[in-house]
Amino acid sequence: MTIPLRSPRHLRIAAHAELISLTVMLANVFTIHLKPISSVMGPTHGCAYLFVVIATWRLKPAPAVSIAALVPGVGGLLALRLLDRSDPAVGQEI
């Protein structure tokens, strides 16, 4: 019997922060375009994106998970989904 691999909590938080920051940033650009919001959300999204990519790669998952983490905006959530479905014994998807 294998225990399903649960993704780390810090990766879940960063993946959601990446998506939320991108949504806020795009909503700001397409509506009122306030400079202070852009100047805060841009670096926030960039840091969350880098954190997701590095945290995913440090887990040494299957190659598909590492590649999914590279997709901006939703890559963290895709990687989380693939991590939750993978078999830790062989490192491959079920």
Q: What is the pLDDT along the chain (94 residues), one digit of tens a residue?
A: 444 456 799 999 999 999 999 999 999 999 999 999 999 999 999 999 999 999 999 999 999 999 999 999 999 999 999 998 875 554 444 5
The whole-model pTM stands at 0.81
80, 12 Cβ separation under 8 angstroms: yes
pLDDT of residue 90: 43
pLDDT score for 12? 95
SS3 70: coil
| Residues paired with 86 in a beta bridge | 93
The C-alpha atoms of residue 41 and residue 52 are separated, in whole angstroms, by 16
